[in-house]
Every structure is written in structure tokens, then in C-alpha cells.
Chains A and B, each alone.
Chain A
């Protein structure tokens, strides 16, 4: 049974109820009402959060907020260094993580024999990697990147001076790259699955090798899905805090990150700092709300973009079948 056939006929209750006793009608009404209420409640949660953040955050939002550094103990100014730090971290993360994720997905879907032990192991590893708590990634980043790789680099290249053996932009980005690996793999594999087999067969029939088929036919066809994975990874990376707590995020920096070994500020960590560490909660509240608004707007735009790209991809592959 192909995905297409399964998607064509999903289970759907009949539009009208055929049980016509009072009890059945009551039972059905209760079921419809309670499930409808549950869905409405979930949507209401989303709406309330959005409403509260927009209502309290939009007043302080301005161009200067986005282009100024925090001032006066973070009760004034903006979040410019945090935005710069996030962009740098996310770019590094993407460069390091996405190629590995895409390669893994291509191997899993195009090359790997489904029943081979290595394939099964990789699938189990990917599924479990997605389930590892984000704080554990933070511990891993500290133990592996900072204290093993970083300290090792310092010993070899810097005569033991602390350069890379401390929390840094590069280590936070690499930790986040490992964390977002499953996101990229799952999205890419879904995209590869949506490429109709006829295209592969046609390419092979024309005399292309498997490699040429993958590079010139399959991957271009799946590019929208790969893009989806990348967008989702960026959105996740921009929002996570726990993995970067000990691997590079800074409470406050008077300057922008100077290089890979520098610490950095980022909006998500800034929200945590403002919400929990501020000596004067009321004075920082407008800035806190506006930072949340910026972070939320960013992740929503990215997520909506991913949904749109994916929907378009599904429609296209639906037509191709």
C-alpha cells in the first residue's frame, strides 16, 4: 500500500448518525461536543498567549529596539546584540548540521537496505536523538565540546591558554546542530519519499547512474522538503535555551561576538534572564514582553513558512501520482 492510497481514504465517520435511539443521539452529541470543546480549548490557549504577548509587547516595539544595545541594567535600550548573536549561532548551526542531516536522509531513503542492521541502528539512533532532553544536550555540549574538544584545542594550539576551552559561540552552535539533526533528517526523508518512483525509473532508464539520479533528479525534486527541514531547524535553534546555558550564551555582553570563541547573547536566553534574574521586574517588563514578541514572531514566521512550503510540496507530489 503506497502513501498515496492510504491518504486517499482515511477513516471518516459518516456525516449522519445511523443509530437513531435517544441514547445513541445523546452519546454522539456528547462525543462531538467534548472533542470539539477540547479542540477549541487548545486553540484558545494559543490565542490567549498570542493576545497577551502582542498586547503587552507591541507598545515598546520600534526600530530602535531592534538596533540598540541594552542600557541601564537592561531596563532600557534594545536587543540588537542578541539578534546578531542569534543569527551568527543559527548560521553556524545550519552550516554544520544541515549537510549531515540531508546526507543521512539520502542514505537512509535512497541507498540503505531497509532490513540491514546499520539502517535499523541509524533509525533507532535518530528516533532516540529526537527524544533526548534539551538540558542533556547542554551537559553534552559542556562535557564534549567545551571540556574535551575545546580544552584539547587549547592544549595543542594555544599552550593551555583558555581560548576554546570555555563556553563559546562555536560550541553552542555545534550543540544545537546535533540537537536539530533529527528535525532535518525527518523532513528530508519525508521529501524524498514524496518524489515519485517513476522519476527515478525514468532517469535510470535513460542511462543515468544511481548517483546521477540522486543528485540530478531526486534531490532537486526534494529541495522544498529539505528547505522545510532547514527552516524548522532554524526555528528550533532560535528558541531553545537549555542547550546553550553552559555552552556559550551570555547574560550580558557590552560588545558583539568577536569570533568563534566569543560568547554571545540571544533573544531566547535574554527572555529567561529578564524574566528570572532581573533585580527590578516591573522596570524590565516592557522590554521582556517585547523580546518575547520578537522571538515569537520570528519562530511563527519560520513555522508558517515551513507549513506553506510543505503543503505546496504535498500538493505537487499528489498531482504527480
Chain B
């Protein structure tokens, strides 16, 4: 066994390497003198490459720009302010203060909590289903399956990722909702459980792919050492493979979480879209993403409702951005701790 893949010696410091990025780099030397326009070409490449940064910046700027009147426009603020959105209000006809989302009623109400709770409920259901299924099937494909089986199962699960979300939404709305209602006797046909389970179909492949990669990236020497010490296979899995693969699994879970919070079409079609505050997962829910999709087409440019929907978009953007960044950071830290185990 070569030194690179072996366990680090005590006190040995090793640069963390990853299987995904530790590729052979192109050589840095340049022997032939290059004509000037080659340099111009390289600058062009650099400018085009920066377009990804530009895109992210433009997205944030142009969503926040449409949401900004919420903070300064008096016409908008006459109808809705941040504090009215966050804190429960005593609306006429209500006995006690409540957070209500009724943007097109006579007195427009823009309480955020029904939407936030709806988003959380659907996300929780989808993650509860997707994380165990994604990680366990990755474990099976990478460790138990024969190479032949692996070559068939892996692309099939990845094919699941290719199903457009509108098709999953359609399937949840037309087929699954009826099945679930018949089996569980839900009062409302479309609810957090149906949409959450359908959403998990979109997330399982994300978690599967990254977990599978993580399991396979664990150096074989770890497994061999564990086996040599007399560990049974399941002990090796629990004590060696899972901890060593945890950065990759965490990456998959983080990506899946971001996807779950932002996914639109599935929840728009299968969640029932009722903005209710309740702890019951069998109630209809309305998520932030579905609210934007359902309501933006009917609002007037620049009015309060329009501004609030862009504000919701800004919230979604920031939430997913934070999850991605924190996930990325966690992964890098764990990798550093494991000393290049991933």
C-alpha cells in the first residue's frame, strides 16, 4: 500500500485532499512564445468565467430591488410593514391577535408565519423520508451490491433525479393524493404529508449521489484495518464507514435541504395551498415558494402585494444561500478534521 492512502502517522500533517477536486492540474510551464491575441483570448475567458459571479449578484440585486419599497415607499407601507408581517395583528373580526396570510381580502393581511410553518412542515416530511432512504440505498449500492447490480441500480436512481418536478407534482396531485387518502383517511386530500413525500422523490437522488460518492471515497485501508481488528461488517459500517463518509453525506443532506425549501412545482400542485397555522401534518399547507408562484401572476406591478412577494423571494434566496454556505463550510471543517479521509 502506498503512503498516500495509508492512515496518517502520529503527528503527521497532511494536506486535505478530496477525490472530486484533487485532479491532475495542467502544467504551468509555457515554452513557446504566444502571440498577443492569445492573451486577449485568456482575458475573454476570465471575463466570461466571472459571469457566474455576476449572475449571483444580479439575482440578489434585482430581487431585493423590487422588495425594497417595503422599507421606504409610503404607499406600500400604508398597507404592509415588516413588523405587520412578522408580529401577530388583531384584525377586525378576529378574537385575538393572529398571523394571517390573506393578501387579496378587503383588508389585505400579510402575516408570514402560516407560510413559514407550511414550508417547514413540508420540508420536515421530505427530509424525514429522503435522508434515511438516500443514505441507506447509497450504503447498499456502494457496499453490498455486486458490481453488476451497482451498474444498473445507480443510473436508475440518478434517472429519478431527471424527472421534472412538474411531473412529480402531477403524480402527487392526481395519483398519490388519492392513494394516501384511501390508506390514511386524511381529511384534506392535499396536505403536508402528500407533498412532502412527493418532494422527497426529488431529494433522494441528491442525497444518494453524494452519499454514494462519499462511501466509495473512504480509503479501503480503513475497512481493511477495521476488519483486521475483528470487527463485523455492520460494526465497520457504523464505526468506520459512516463517520469517515459523514462530510459527503452532510453535503448531500445540505443540498437536499436547500432543494426542499426552494422546490416550487411539487408543493404548488400537491400541498393544498391553504395558509393555515397548525401542527397537524395532515392539514393543507401553503409554502413560501408556492405562494410566489401562485400569486405573482395576478398582482399589479409595484403594489404592496407585488413587493411582498419579491420580499418572500429574497427570503428564499438568502435561506438557501445560507444553507449552501454553512453546508460547504461544515464539510470543509469535517474534512480537515478527518485528515483527508473523504
List the interface of chain A (C-beta within 8 A of B): 1-3, 5-7, 9-14, 17-19, 21, 24-25, 27-28, 30-32, 34-39, 41-43, 45-46, 49, 52-53, 99-100, 103-104, 106-112, 114, 118, 121-122, 124-129, 131-140, 142-144, 147-148, 178, 181-182, 185, 193, 196-197, 200-201, 204-205, 207-211, 218, 235, 238-242, 245-246, 268-269, 271-272, 275-276, 285, 288, 292, 295-296, 299-300, 302-304, 307
Interface residues of B in 260-316 (CB under 8 A from A): 261-265, 268-269, 289, 292-293, 296-297, 301, 309-310, 313, 316
Chain A residues near B58 (CB-CB < 8 A): 140, 144
* Contact A132-B171, Cβ < 8 Å, known A31-B234, A181-B55, A239-B164: no
How distant is B275 from chain A, measured CB to nearest CB, in Å? 17
| Residue from B22, B165, B301 in contact with A2 in the complex, judged by beta carbons closer than 8 Å | B22
* CB-defined contacts of A111 to chain B, threshold 8 Å: 42, 45-46
- Docked Cα-Cα span, A142 to B292, in Å, equals 12
A residues near B164, Cβ cutoff 8 Å: 238-241, 268, 295-296, 299
CA distance A187 to B176 in the complex (A): 34
User: Among residues 161 to 201 in chain B, which have CB atoms less than 8 Å away from a CB atom of chain A?
Assistant: 162-171, 173-175, 201
A to B CB contacts below 8 Å, 27 in the list: A11-B143, A13-B223, A19-B231, A19-B235, A24-B235, A35-B140, A39-B141, A53-B167, A100-B51, A103-B44, A103-B45, A109-B26, A111-B46, A124-B328, A125-B55, A127-B324, A128-B325, A136-B316, A147-B301, A181-B52, A197-B24, A209-B30, A210-B34, A242-B165, A275-B174, A276-B268, A304-B159
Chain B residues whose C-beta falls within 8 Å of the C-beta of A136 in the assembled complex: 59, 63, 262, 313, 316-317, 320
Q: Given A46-B160, A131-B258, A296 and B167 touching (CB < 8 A)?
A: yes
Out of A110, A129, A201, name the residue touching B52 (CB < 8 Å).
A129
The reply to whether B166 and A271 form a contact with Cβ atoms under 8 Å apart is yes
Complex interface: chain A residues within 8 A of B310 (CB): 139, 143
Partner of B26, one of A2, A197, A239: A197
Dominant secondary structure at the B interface? helix
Main secondary structure of the interface of A (DSSP, over half): helix
Given A19-B233, A39-B141, decide whether A12 and B173 contact each other with a Cβ distance below 8 A: no
A235 to B232, CA, bound (A): 44
User: Chain A nearest CB: distance from B16 CB in Å?
Assistant: 11
Alpha-carbon separation in the docked complex, A106 to B316 (Å): 31
At the interface with chain A, which of B76-84, B93-101, B104-112, B149-157?
B149-157
Give the interface size bracket for B toward A.
35 or more
Q: What is the bound-complex CA distance between A302 and B4, given in angstroms?
A: 39
Whether a CB of chain A sits under 8 angstroms from the CB of B9 is no
Q: Could you say which residues of chain A place their CB within 8 Å of the CB of B139?
A: 31, 35
Say whether, besides A2-B24, A271-B170, A10 and B142 are in contact (CB < 8 Å): yes
Indicate if the CB atoms of B42 and A193 lie closer than 8 Å: no
- A10 near B23 with CB under 8 A, answer no
**Which of A2, A9, A30, A108 lies in contact with B220, CB distance below 8 A?**
A9
- Chain B residues lying within 8 Å of A137, measured Cβ to Cβ, are 59
Q: How far, in Å, is B8 (CB) from chain A's closest CB?
A: 13
Q: Which residue of chain B is the closest to A310 with respect to CB atoms?
A: B155
Q: Which residues of A contact B160 (CB under 8 A)?
A: 42, 45-46
In the complex, which of the residues A10, A17, A124 contacts B233, with contact meaning CB atoms closer than 8 Å? A17
Question: Of all chain A residues, which has the CB nearest B1?
Answer: A9
Q: Are A12 and B220 in contact (CB under 8 A)?
A: yes
Please pick, from B29, B144, B201, B216, the residue contacting A204 in the complex, using a CB distance under 8 A.
B29
What are the residues of chain A within 8 A of B168 when measuring CB–CB?
49
Given that A52-B175, A275-B269 are known contacts, is A201 also in contact with B165, CB under 8 Å in the complex? no
Known: A31-B139, A118-B50, A296-B167. 9 other contacts (CB 8 A): A18-B231, A38-B137, A42-B208, A112-B49, A132-B59, A135-B264, A136-B313, A136-B317, A239-B165
